[in-house]
Amino acid sequence: MRQEAETNRREFLTKASATAGVLGLTAAAGCTDDEADDTDDTGADVADELGEQLPTYEFLNNAESYNPPRHDAINLMANQFNELGLDTDVEVLEWGTLFNRVDVEYDYDFSLWHTFFTIDPVLELSSTMHSENTDPGEGNFAGYENPDADELMDQYLVEPDEERRIELVHDLQRTLMDDLPQMPVIDMPFLAVFNNEVVDNWEPDLPLGYNSYWTMINLEMQNGEDTLVGYWPEALDTMNPLGHNDENKHTYNFDIMYDSVVRLDNEGEINTDVSLATDFERVDEATMEYTIRDHTFHDGEDLTVEDVAFSYNYITENEVPLYSVQANFIEEAEVVDDETVRIHMPEDNPLGPFNLLVGTQIPILPEHRWADRDEPSEASVDEPVGSGPLQFDYWDRGAELGLSRFDDHFAPVDFEQRIWRIIPEASTVWENLREGDLSYETFGRIDRQLDENQDLDQITVLADPATSFWHCTPNQRTEGLDDPEVRKAAFNAIPRTAIVDQILFGVPDTGFNVVSSAFGPLHTEDVTEYEEDIEVGIQRLQDAGYVFDEEGMAHHPPE
Amino acid sequence: MATQDEPSIFADLDDGATEEDVESVNRWERTLRLWRETIGEQWRMLTDDLLVKLAMVTLTFFMAVAIFAPLLAPHGPLTRQYETDAEIIIADWVDPVFIDSESAYILGTTSQGYDILSQLIYGSRAALLVGLLAAVFTAGIGTLVGLTAGYYGGKIDDTLMRIVDFLYGMPLLPTVIILVALLGPSLWNIIFAIIVLQWRSTARVIRSQALSLRERPFVKAAQVAGASDWHIISRHLAPNVLPLSFLYGAFAIAWAILAEAGVSFIGLGDPNRVSWGTMLQSSRAYAALDFGVWWWFVPPGICIGLVVISGFLIGRGYEEITNPELR
Amino acid sequence: MSKASFITRRILQLGVTFWAVGTVLFLLFRLMPGDPTAFVVSAQMTPEARQRVIESFGLNEPLHIQYIQFLQNALTLNFGQSFHTNEPVRDVIWTFLPNTLVLMLTAFVIAYILGVTLGVFTGWYRGSRFEKTTVVTALTARSVPTFYVGLIVLWIFGAGLGVIPMSGMGSAGVEHESFAARVFTLDFLHHLIAPAAVLAFYYMGYPLLIMRSSMMEVLSQDFIDVCRAKGLSERTIMFKHAARNALLPIITAAAIALGYAVGGSVLIETVFGWPGIGREMVNAVLRRDFPVAQGTFMVLAATIIILNFVADLLYGYLDPRVTYD
């Protein structure tokens, strides 16, 4: 899931939705038509007079090797769309091209993306669904424009009252599910898959799931084991905490090597017991004040308030691309006394949830190592020095990364060492996991191996509702897909249960809402639901005035 | 390169024999007859060898399978198999007949619900298309360039050979990967990328043959008699290098199929088409090995092996014709 | 033509070939679809931040300026910085190339020792059943894709019998001072054995067949009869006289084949999770990391070009009959 990785920058603020999608080719393309289509003479009545046929739609898919289940799901969905009467081709693209086509150029008709790590649902939706962001690269790749939804999102973001915010977000969900600019296909859970003879006590946090700081500091090693071994299918790119591209593989490592002023617990609350700041206060609307505890960096130098202020100012002044969004909300950091630091936001652009969106994100850097670097994002870092519970030990590029416990940390981990191996072959992962050579399934693949191995005594699988989900997004710039009835019919045709049961081995739940239940009170079940039945979809198209030809393809009514 | 001083072992096919009936037979018939005789002769020598015969039979078999694939295959290669009552439910990972005698699928289905046997049958199309097109173009372009360079010599030779040198500097698989990533993953692009590189060795070898042939008396005689360059190349040189062209053509089948399989295995195969390479890639993506689902990943490998070895055997058969010391 | 001027000319040609490969590569990567910066910059970057990244890689310059820059840098073996990691491409190459070389050279040495020995025997016992079986086996070994053999070896010996590791170059958590320190460990050997054996099996066929032909040629020459007449033992004739004389074509062929083997390493590296330069190149191509893709490809090409050149020189050196025309 490199795609996931690639899109998982501090998503809450992302302009572009974090989407991981890919395309496939149509199941039917390339084969000879030796198969009589014996299912298309089902619901639709053949009309005598036809208007113009709806255009051919391109469903973009990722290569099979990239993400087999999603590749397969897209092929299946495209099949169903054809059954419904929408002429749909699947085009398989290599990940980079695919991402560009959908997320930057908006040159696609259907996409299936995996949205990740959203801390706040409306922050995410306001970038992907707000009509202000419909220009290329701005985030609204769906091309959805609805003033009502815009209004609800705008209100939500400035509304100080929580109860009122909940009402607004519930209304927003109802609006979006009535209009269906985006079809929630699958709710993807956070998965903890681990060898319980090696390690136990897995607790997720909301943005990073079971790869979070909170998870790591709470793990309990079993049977005297002292090494936690994880893996990733591809090599890490860099040891520069400011120079990576925000793929998960980097975030998961830097998040635990570098402290931020505040940290989240598994309830999604700021927990000062495990944070660098022992206390914080919003001094005024545009100023946060943090009390920093006594701490040292991995190299033994003291971590001071100067380092904290330096990190904020340095990242902002140098316009580090990775944190360009956060930088918008940082005016200046100021040392008050030897344990207090203040962060000033721009007076005209204060941010409500500053802790959540900035405080948990900006890594605290040792000033003595970074002060001389001019282009921080391009610096070559051999031995990263942070202050987190794990410190850099060795990096064998392309093979593995070794981190060791930082004994002086205020929230220590229970293991001596964390090794992160590079294992490109999915098949070898489970072999290692069963034997305990791997402690946990870091990457979280849902596949047949998980299905067949999950009942083993030494394997535990935990699933938690996550904020991430697969959504099929029709490009509303395309003729036909701008009609909500066509989108709804397509949603009726998506075999969500089959995708969950067969392609994803029953692990996730089928989706029915664009805001996941992981968001707690922000989520509502009171939205329009759509039956999973292709006949209902065909009926819906007919009711909307579309007519069908002998092949079962939908046409506009005759003029 | 080592080929320069190879002894030429070709008979001067048209010495004498063609001179006497110059008047009676028209040129085209003569050319045709000459070619027919050359090819017929080589065919006889080639099929002398049991292994070559077997290779021919294998290739013919797969060609027949490829041509009649729609008749032979029980299903479309990318047609999802559904279980009967609930249409949506994919029949994934259905066991083959020899595991479950009730199974409707001789080799079972893939994890995505495609019939493995049908994929195998249709896969022969991609393999043979790649193999044969690459062979024809490799031999064709290589021979043409080699003869031109060798016959004209001088600047033309120099230019053409520098191009060949350049191509020799390109590693096959990485180049194909880059070209396919650039042009898009389709079978035609894979074939194109393979051909672009593969003709280099044919051209080099044919050129050195042509260099020595052009000094032969029959070529000199034709030149003196005022024959056109094209006439000399096509009538005097080409038949003499034919076995070599065929040899490289036969090897090209093998290399091209291996290259296609490799590119597909990396994930740059044509997604709209089933080939044995993409089958292997898919079985790997779904970890068929881990589940011991050998009927998914063993057969395509064997098919690749059989076609490739046929190419090699035929190539070797030719090698023995062109180099009688090996016989 | 004298030997010296032959070599001079070949070196000039070498330069031209390098230039041509580099130019074609440069053009190819610039023609590739997909915006390379889409991977460097994150989607939520501000347009200004995006622009700065693009400028920092010189991607805003006109193509011909980029090209001149590229050529200048290439002369000093500077292939720029990775779009992805900002690491100098040279460092990337130094990280991955040795891994590939160790694997390839090991496989090659095994393949050539076995292949040449078997080739001697097959050439000697021409027409025997042994010869036929060996030749067919050698051809078979070359006909089945290496990655396929690798997968099956992993399945049987790794997953099934558990005697070989499934992936990588070393066990988890083992840290080494240097590349050399790592290579000389039992653990490394344990990881090397399967991929090297699979490759050796594949590469063995080529020297075997060449050696066999070469032996046949040598055996048809008069001096073998002289040896026989002298009453030398079969074994002495076979190895001391025949094989030695037949070895010449193998040496040049080996140099050339090694070049191509390094280029073809990508598949076996993928199967065995070997962090080699071939795999890195494919990854770089897929993520549109032009500088790394260019640099790694150039290394693969250079290996071939240089080894071809070496083969030419060796050939002339070893075979006094060669004239330099």
Render pLDDT for A458-474 as a digit per residue (tens, 0 to 9). 999 998 888 888 999 99
Say what the pLDDT of residue A439 is: 94
Residues in chain B within 8 Å Cβ distance of A94: 181, 185, 268
Residues in chain B within 8 Å Cβ distance of A503: 90
Say what the pLDDT of residue C190 is: 87
Task: Using CA coordinates, name the residue in chain B closest to A80.
Answer: B88
On whether residue C29 sits in a domain, the answer given is: yes
β-bridge mates for residue A554, sequence order: A548
Q: For residues A380 and C240, what is the distance between their CA atoms, to the nearest angstrom?
A: 57
Q: For residues A73 and A511, what is the distance between their CA atoms, to the nearest angstrom?
A: 14
Residues A92 and A16 both lie in one domain: yes
Residues 6+ apart with CB under 8 A from B25: B33
State the total domains in chain A: 3
Of residues A2 and B171, the one with the higher pLDDT is: B171
State the total domains in chain C: 2
Most confident region among A406-410, B38-42, C96-100 by mean pLDDT: A406-410
Residues C299 and C210 both lie in one domain: yes
* Confidence check: pLDDT of C287 > 80: no
Which of B76, B271, B282 is facing A31, going by the closest CB pair? B76
**Contact A24/B at CB under 8 A:** yes
Q: Residue C166: left if φ>0, alpha if ψ -120 to 50, beta else—which one?
A: alpha
- State whether B78 and A29 contact (CB < 8 Å): yes
- State whether B162 and C16 contact (CB < 8 Å): yes
**Percent share of chain A, pLDDT over 70:** 90
Structure tokens at A49: 């007079």
**Contact C52/A at CB under 8 A:** yes
Task: Using CA coordinates, name the residue in chain B closest to C249.
Answer: B2
* Confidence check: pLDDT of A365 > 70: yes
Residues A18 and A114 both lie in one domain: yes
In this structure, the strands spanning A302-303 and A547-548 are: unpaired
Q: Tell me the residue length of chain A.
A: 559
**Contact C188/A at CB under 8 A:** no
What pLDDT, in 10s, does the model give residues B203-226?
988 998 888 888 888 888 888 888
Please provide the distance, in angstroms rounded to a whole number, between the alpha carbons at the two ends of chain A. Answer: 47
Asked whether C287 and A96 are in contact (CB, 8 A), the reply is: yes
**Percent share of chain B, pLDDT over 90:** 24
Asked whether C45 and C36 are in contact (CB, 8 A), the reply is: no
**Contact C115/B at CB under 8 A:** no
Q: What is the rounded average pLDDT of the residues A373-391? A: 88
* Confidence check: pLDDT of A30 > 60: no
Q: Which of C31, C82, C85 should be substituted to probe chain A, the one whose Cβ sees the most A Cβ atoms within 10 Å? A: C85
Residues C103 and C200 both lie in one domain: yes
Asked whether B311 and B254 are in contact (CB, 8 A), the reply is: yes
Residues in chain A within 8 Å Cβ distance of C175: 393-394, 396, 402
Closest-CA distance, B38 to chain C, in angstroms, reads 25
| Domain's final residue, options A464, A488, A522 | A464
In this structure, the strands spanning A547-548 and A227-232 are: unpaired
* Confidence check: pLDDT of A363 > 90: yes
On whether residue C323 sits in a domain, the answer given is: no
Q: What is the rounded average pLDDT of the residues A253-280? A: 92
When mean pLDDT is compared across B11-20, B220-229, C80-89, C229-238, the lowest value belongs to B11-20
Q: What is the rounded average pLDDT of the residues B309-321? A: 82
What pLDDT, in 10s, does the model give residues A297-348?
999 999 999 999 999 999 999 888 788 778 888 999 999 999 999 999 988 8
**Percent share of chain A, pLDDT over 90:** 49
Which of A96, A324, A422 is facing C45, going by the closest CB pair? A324
Say what the pLDDT of residue A382 is: 86
Mean pLDDT value across chain B: 82
Q: For residues A5 and A67, what is the distance between their CA atoms, to the nearest angstrom?
A: 12
Residues C35 and C126 both lie in one domain: no
ipTM, 2 decimals? Answer: 0.84
**Percent share of chain C, pLDDT over 70:** 88
**Contact C152/B at CB under 8 A:** yes
Residue C232 burial by Cβ neighbours in a 10 Å radius (0-12, 13-18, 19+)? middle
Closest-CA distance, A44 to chain B, in angstroms, reads 17
**What residue ranges in C257-315 does DSSP mark as E strands?**
none
Residues in chain C within 8 Å Cβ distance of A421: 168, 172
On whether residue A160 sits in a domain, the answer given is: yes
Residues C126 and C103 both lie in one domain: yes
Closest-CA distance, A348 to chain C, in angstroms, reads 18
CATH number attached to the domain at B47-326: 1.10.3720.10
What pLDDT, in 10s, does the model give residues B141-190?
999 999 999 888 889 988 998 899 889 888 888 898 888 887 877 889 99
* Confidence check: pLDDT of C176 > 70: no
Kind and range of the H or E run holding A400 = strand A400-405
Q: Interhelix angle for B172-183 vs C290-318, to 10°?
A: 150
Most confident region among A488-502, C62-76, C145-159 by mean pLDDT: A488-502
Residues A368 and A333 both lie in one domain: yes
Say what the pLDDT of residue B237 is: 85
Asked whether A338 and A304 are in contact (CB, 8 A), the reply is: yes
* Confidence check: pLDDT of B250 > 50: yes
Residues C98 and C68 both lie in one domain: no
What pLDDT, in 10s, does the model give residues B147-156?
999 888 889 9
Which of C143, C151, C297 is facing B308, going by the closest CB pair? C143
Residues C24 and C172 both lie in one domain: no
A392 — phi, psi (to 5°)?
-60, 135
What is the DSSP annotation of A274-311?
Answer: GSSEEEEEEEETTEEEEEEPPEE-TTS-EE-HHHHHHH
H-assigned helices in A477-549: 484-493, 496-498, 534-543
**Contact C74/A at CB under 8 A:** no
Q: For residues A449 and A429, what is the distance between their CA atoms, to the nearest angstrom?
A: 9
Closest-CA distance, C285 to chain A, in angstroms, reads 10
| Domain's final residue, options A439, A464, A489 | A464
Q: For residues C203 and B158, what is the distance between their CA atoms, to the nearest angstrom?
A: 33
Residues in chain B within 8 Å Cβ distance of C16: 162, 166
Reduce the DSSP state of residue A546 to 3 states and report it. coil
- State whether C45 and A321 contact (CB < 8 Å): yes
CB interface of C with A, residues 98-137, below 8 Å: 99
Residue A151 burial by Cβ neighbours in a 10 Å radius (0-12, 13-18, 19+)? middle
Residues C65 and C112 both lie in one domain: no
How many inter-chain contacts (A to B, CB under 8 Å) are there?
100
Mean pLDDT value across chain A: 84
Q: For residues A449 and A280, what is the distance between their CA atoms, to the nearest angstrom?
A: 46
- State whether B287 and A448 contact (CB < 8 Å): yes
* Confidence check: pLDDT of B15 > 60: no
Q: Which of C32, C42, C54, C164 should be substituted to probe chain A, the one whose Cβ sees the most A Cβ atoms within 10 Å? A: C42
Task: Using CA coordinates, name the residue in chain C closest to B51.
Answer: C136
Closest-CA distance, C205 to chain B, in angstroms, reads 12
What is the DSSP annotation of B111-165?
Answer: TTS-BHHHHHHHHHHHHHHHHHHHHHHHHHHHHHHHHHHHHH-HHHHHHHHHHHH
When mean pLDDT is compared across A25-34, A378-387, B23-32, C68-77, the lowest value belongs to A25-34
- State whether B165 and C13 contact (CB < 8 Å): yes
CATH assignment of the domain containing C122? 1.10.3720.10
On whether residue A266 sits in a domain, the answer given is: no
Residues C144 and C282 both lie in one domain: yes
- State whether A235 and C275 contact (CB < 8 Å): yes
Segments making up each domain of chain B, as ranges: 47-326
Task: Using CA coordinates, name the residue in chain B closest to A74.
Answer: B112
Residues A227 and A115 both lie in one domain: no
Residues A199 and A153 both lie in one domain: no
On whether residue C324 sits in a domain, the answer given is: no
- State whether B287 and A449 contact (CB < 8 Å): yes
- Domain residues for C65? 3-76
Residues C113 and C64 both lie in one domain: no
**Contact A79/B at CB under 8 A:** yes
- State whether A423 and C273 contact (CB < 8 Å): yes
On whether residue C220 sits in a domain, the answer given is: yes
Residues in chain A within 8 Å Cβ distance of B74: none
- Domain residues for A121? 4-188+466-555
Asked whether B254 and C143 are in contact (CB, 8 A), the reply is: yes
The upper half-sphere exposure of residue B304, i.e. CA atoms within 13 Å in the direction of its Cβ, equals 31
Confidence category of residue B88, pLDDT binned at 50, 70, 90: low
Residues 6+ apart with CB under 8 A from A337: A305
Residues A476 and A360 both lie in one domain: no
Task: Using CA coordinates, name the residue in chain B closest to C205.
Answer: B312
On whether residue A362 sits in a domain, the answer given is: yes
CATH assignment of the domain containing A547? 3.10.105
Closest-CA distance, A99 to chain B, in angstroms, reads 15
Confidence category of residue B13, pLDDT binned at 50, 70, 90: very low
| Domain's final residue, options C32, C48, C76 | C76
On whether residue A264 sits in a domain, the answer given is: no
On whether residue A384 sits in a domain, the answer given is: no
On whether residue A201 sits in a domain, the answer given is: yes
On whether residue C82 sits in a domain, the answer given is: no
In this structure, the strands spanning A227-232 and A417-422 are: parallel
What's the one-letter identity of residue A189? P
Say what the pLDDT of residue B6 is: 38
Confidence category of residue A41, pLDDT binned at 50, 70, 90: very low
Closest-CA distance, C47 to chain B, in angstroms, reads 27
Residues A338 and A394 both lie in one domain: no
Residues in chain C within 8 Å Cβ distance of A424: 167, 270, 273, 279
* Confidence check: pLDDT of A422 > 90: no
Which of C82, C167, C286 is facing A423, going by the closest CB pair? C167
Say what the pLDDT of residue C321 is: 55
Task: Using CA coordinates, name the residue in chain C closest to B313.
Answer: C139
Residues C53 and C98 both lie in one domain: no
Confidence category of residue A286, pLDDT binned at 50, 70, 90: confident
Residues of B within an 8 Å Cβ radius of A: 69-70, 73, 75-80, 87-90, 92-93, 111-112, 122, 181, 185, 266-268, 270-274, 281-282, 284-287, 289-291
Closest-CA distance, C35 to chain A, in angstroms, reads 7
Dihedral (C-alpha) B144, B146, B151, B156: value to the nearest 10 degrees?
Answer: 100
Say what the pLDDT of residue C175 is: 66
* Confidence check: pLDDT of B18 > 70: no
Residues C59 and C127 both lie in one domain: no
* Confidence check: pLDDT of C313 > 70: yes
Residues C30 and C106 both lie in one domain: no
Which chains are within 8 Å of A by 3+ CB pairs?
B, C
